[in-house]
Structure 1
Amino acid sequence: MGENEDINLTDEPETPEEAAVEARGFSLGKLIEWILSNMITVVVAVVLSVVVSFFIMNSIISKKSEDVYKTVKITPKPAPLAIFMLDDFRINTADIDEPRFVRVKINLAYNQGNKQIQNELVERKVQIRDVVLRILNRKEKRDIDTVEGKERLKEEIKKEINNILINGEIEDVYFDEFVIS
């Protein structure tokens, strides 16, 4: 049996080193096991990082939003303007081909805290009406028939009236009625 001792008929390794080499060899099961064990920790780490990053960014964004809301101050609305009503205006337009008739009710708005302008408007009512009549008499239908034309007319009336006032200015001109026929 001396010669047969050298031959190993079984699959078992003879030495522990040979067993370690054989264990280190390629095995699909061991590779899958290694990937799963290491990938699970990597996936868990990535998911945790994303969740933590989301909450941190969300809190930063909400703090910035709060800062914006805290710094914005609401300005108080101005007090309503006082109204000075002029009588109706009934005039013919400057149209040559076909004269048109205009009926307008105009109100002048001014700062209600300025009592001097209120008195001046009352005292100069006839002069103010004359200014408005001269302006309206120069206009043709096409000049005042559009929204833009009416806005330009308001600005012109406001400018001309403010040129004659001494104790303040009117803030706006309102048309209560505006009919062109």
Structure 2
Amino acid sequence: MSDKKDDINLDEEGGESTVTPQKKGGFLSPFIVKILTITAAAIGMIIISFIVAIVVMKASPTGGGGANMPDSESPQRTQVEHLEYLKFDDAFRQQLIDGRMIQLKLALGYKSKDKTLQTELSQIIPEMRDIIIKQLSRLRSDYFLDENALDRLEEDLLKQINRIVNSGKVERIYFQEYTLM
């Protein structure tokens, strides 16, 4: 009976009774509601991203596979012009400044079908050998410790050899043999 007194208040003046609503627990606790909301949002995002992926794949001209599309990181190869070569018969064996020995076997590359240059190069072989020997004799063995040493040597030799060539130019120097002793 004391429970009913708490629920029903009688107003002495008017005789009206008011009922205070009881506080009932919700159907779902707030924690479960939050979990369901987060789960629904995640599922919605997955569905939207799946739909966007399908639309993008259908819109691309290659079917979205990407196998036919060129790789943006790899540059397009241009057609390579193959060179003709003048090979030195003997290897260059030269003592460096610090006493170590180097042995190089070289070939000079020039544009194909340039007969005048080919003739000129075959005539100036002794001069080119002299240039190469002098250049090697100025170097130390630590020059070749760097991984770009042969590239630098090629550039230096190309500059010096092309100074004495009158018709055309030597495009590349190929190292066929390289030994540092």
TM-score clears 0.5: yes
Identity across the alignment (%): 23
CA–CA separation in structure 2 for the residues paired with 1:119 and 1:143? 34
Contact 2:62 2:69 in 1 (8 A): no
Change in Cα spacing, 1:117 to 1:63, as seen in structure 2 (3 Å) is same
2:61 is aligned with 1:62: yes
Q: What do residues 64-116 of structure 1 show as CA deviations (whole Å, max 9, x unaligned)?
A: 989x969xxx7662232111112311111011xxx111111011111112111
Q: Unpaired segments of 5 or more residues in structure 2?
A: 1-47, 71-75
Structure-2 residue corresponding to 1:165: 165
Whichever residue aligns with residue 81 of structure 2, its letter is A
- Give yes or no for contact 2:57–2:63 (8 Å, CA) kept in 1: no
What CA distance in whole angstroms lies between the structure 2 residues aligned with 1:81 and 1:103? Answer: 24
1:4 equivalent in structure 2:
none
Structure with bigger helix share is 1
Secondary structure of 1:83's match?
Answer: strand
Aligned to 2:86: 84
Tell me which amino acid in the other structure corresponds to 1:104.
Answer: L
TM-score normalised per structure 2: 0.60
Structure 1 Cα separation of the partners of residues 94 and 132 of structure 2: 11
Change (3 A) 1:175 1:53: closer
How large is the Cα RMSD of the aligned pairs?
A: 2.9
When normalised by structure 1's length, the TM-score is: 0.60
Please report how far the alpha carbon of residue 173 of structure 1 lies from its aligned counterpart in structure 2 after TM superposition: 0.8
Kept in 2, the 8 Å contact 1:144–1:153? The answer is no
- Letter matched to residue 57 of structure 2: N
Greater percentage in strand: 2
Which whole-Å CA distance do the structure 1 matches of 2:170 and 2:135 have between them? Answer: 17
Question: Structure 1 residue 177: deviation in Å?
Answer: 0.9
Q: List alignment gaps of at least 5 residues for structure 1.
A: 1-49
For residues 53 and 131 of structure 1, what CA distance do their matches in structure 2 show? 66
Amino acid at match of 1:126: P
Alpha-carbon distance, 1:152 to partner: 0.7
- Aligned-residue offset at 1:163: 1.2
Give the secondary structure class of the aligned counterpart of 2:80. Answer: coil
Count of residues paired in the alignment = 128
1:36-66: per-residue Cα shift (whole Å, max 9, x none)?
A: xxxxxxxxxxxxxx79976654332236989
Distance in 2 of aligned mates of 1:163 and 1:107: 18
Q: Could you list the per-position Cα deviations for residues 110-136 of structure 1 after superposition, in whole angstroms to 9, with x for gaps in the alignment?
A: 111211111111011011111111100
- Give SS of 1:147's match: coil
Q: Give the Å deviation of 1:172.
A: 0.8
CA distance in 1, matches of 2:170, 2:116: 12
Name the CA shift for 1:167/1:123 in 2 (closer, same or farther; >3 Å). Answer: same
Among candidates 97, 107, 127, match of residue 94 of structure 1? 97
Distance (whole Å) between structure 1 residues aligned to residue 179 and residue 53 of structure 2:
63
Distance 2:180 2:53 in 1: 65
